[in-house]
Amino acid sequence: MANAFPGGGNYRKTGGEKRFVIVDAGMNDLIRPTLYEAYHHVWPVKPDAKNLNAERSRTFEIVGGETVDVVGPICESGDYLATGRDLPPTKRGDLLAVFTAGAYGFAMSSNYDNRPRVPEVLVDGSSYRIIRRRETLEDLVTAGTNVIGFVNAGRAQNIESEISPFERG
């Protein structure tokens, strides 16, 4: 079993000799590669069979593949999910899976740059299940609208009686 999240929207860019695959998942979704160079297997959800060697071996050969950096859409130098990875050819719109994101993936994720979190998918052989749905912009806005009191003419309202014991901490 593997816990994965999809990074879709695949765009491509070349800078000098480097090739980049840009996905909609970013460092806010999986900060581990940026923080301490954690390795996560990245692979197309539906690779074209003609690009894969039919013989199984310990060294997985990719026919016609390329070495790319898989990066996110946030304009930060640390916004990458994988660097120097050999992948089968991908095209715009292909979905990439980032494997072994696990519990740390979500626990360390954030809404940096006002970005909703990606969904999490549990993969077991050929079956999968979405175990955490994609956040929406409404989720981001709703989280900040539970305002219990307000400041009126420079004087704070007495809201102690309106706060539940759970909200007091």
CA distance 131 to 3: 9
Give the Cα separation of 93 and 73 in Å (integer): 14
Of 75, 103, 107, 153, the active-site residue reads: 75
Question: Which among 90, 104, 107, 97 has a CA at the least distance from the CA of 130?
Answer: 97
Is the Cβ–Cβ distance between 20 and 68 less than 8 Å? yes
Examine the residue annotation and report whether 75 is marked as an active-site residue of this protein. yes
Q: Report the alpha-carbon distance of residue 158 to residue 154 in Å, rounded.
A: 13
Question: If you write DSSP's letter for every residue of 87-115 in order, what string do you get?
Answer: E----TT--EEEE--HHHHHHT---GGGP
* 159 bridge partner residues: none
Would you name the residues annotated as active-site residues? 75
